[in-house]
Chains A and B, each alone.
Chain A
């Protein structure tokens, strides 16, 4: 009887250990995280719609039904990436995520020059390089320094009512996500 108790206690202790190990391993091995889902839907540097409006099931759970969203994956080890979207919409906000879906940096249209979305994501090393000689065309852009290699860039845009749907859709579809080299 005592041995049974001993085994159960040992089991419970083990359960605690297994619990912690599994918990810490879930983010490492998940194949359902945002990066993996996006990777299944499209290639690097391709803006992909996240909402269901573009047809098919939504790629990543884009929670708010009054929002449209698009995302692209990038790899900063290949060079810095420039994201642009033309047009005027009621509200847009963007977030930069790392490979495992942690939010690294976010800003919205009030932070941008003339409310135009023009942003560059780069590593601190690339930032030092580009500071030496900042090209004219990048002067209005928002620089996001991210100490990562692989990451995701998400644009969210508010759809106040049905009449805004085509405008917001066009805004996201015309957005670009390009590898920039210097």
Chain B
């Protein structure tokens, strides 16, 4: 660690003395405010645009290396050495410790199957078959992908050992403010919502397993506007 830090520091000191004589020679020579203005403009665009671009790219959920299956998105490479620089920066900035391949794989949905953003005030139905895994968990999340707070005694999360199944082994889950028969995932409040579906100890976590799996649909039932 130390060995890395020292050359970086000396590299920072390096260019400084070379910069100073340049400024000395250019300042007395020209009185042109215009040139200074144009330089400043170019610098402002460069620093503002470059920095802002990174900030924006790290804020959006979407990214390179995503695998989309219906409304669900997964990043199988996140948190590995093979990840792209954007994922690496996001991991460092948010302090994420991503699940390893032997642990599981997370899918996030930010829109329903109709393409509309998920909202906490709306009721949804999640239905369909789930791919092979030892078990899975599903929870309703806020922007930071933490579980949403509801005023209900139940956590806004479900797992596969507790769900009721249809005769064909598929699962229907009702998401909403009001309790529903069958599998109910409580939600509450207003604003944007995400669903996080994580499969644990699953063969789909290896990238070859991801090609032909199907994930449940998310259907909007109605909104309590």
Contacts and interface: CB of A to CB of B under 8 A. Distances in A.
Do A and B originate from a single complex? yes
Interface of A: 3-4, 6-8, 10-24, 26-27, 30, 32-34, 36-37, 50, 60-67, 71, 91, 93-95, 97, 99-103, 105-108, 110-111, 149-150, 152, 154, 156, 158, 160-161
A36 to B, nearest CB: 8
A106 B100 contact: yes
B43 A61 contact: no
B171 interface: no
Contacts of A160: 159, 161-162
A10 B44 CA distance: 11
Given A17-B50, A97-B97, A156 B89 contact: no
B159 to A, nearest CB: 6
Interface stretch (B15-23, B131-139, B213-221): B131-139
Nearest to A101: B91
B63 interface: no
A32 B201 CA distance: 29
B45 interface: yes
A111 to B, nearest CB: 7
A61 B147 contact: no
A178 to B, nearest CB: 21
Interface stretch (B66-74, B80-88, B120-128, B174-182): B80-88
B97 A14 contact: no
Contacts of A11: 41-46, 49
Contact of B146 (A37, A61, A100, A107): A61
A60 B92 CA distance: 11
Contact of B103 (A20, A22, A30, A156): A156
B144 to A, nearest CB: 7
Given A23-B85, A106-B100, A108-B103, A66 B51 contact: no
B93 A106 contact: no
Contacts of B103: 93-95, 106, 108, 156
A160 to B, nearest CB: 6
Nearest to A11: B45
Contacts of A10: 42, 46
B92 A101 contact: yes
B209 interface: no
Interface-central residue, B43, B46, B81, B198, by most chain A CB under 10 Å:
B46
Q: Is the interface of A mostly helix, strand, loop or mixed?
A: mixed
Interface string B127-157: 0000000110101000011110000000111
Nearest to A58: B146
Contacts of B134: 91
A100 B161 CA distance: 35
B38 A32 contact: no
Contacts of B145: 61, 63
A106 B42 contact: no
A82 B44 CA distance: 52
Interface string B3-25: 00000000000000000000000
Interface in B43-63: 43-51, 53-54, 57-58
B99 interface: yes
Contacts of B46: 10-15, 17-18
B195 interface: no
Contacts of B57: 23
Contacts of B79: 97, 101-103
Nearest to B35: A3
**Would you list the 3 A-B pairs with minimal beta carbon distance, nearest first?**
A106-B100, A18-B50, A14-B46
B50 to A, nearest CB: 3
A72 to B, nearest CB: 12
Nearest to A32: B95
Contact of A19 (B50, B92, B104): B50
A37 B51 CA distance: 24
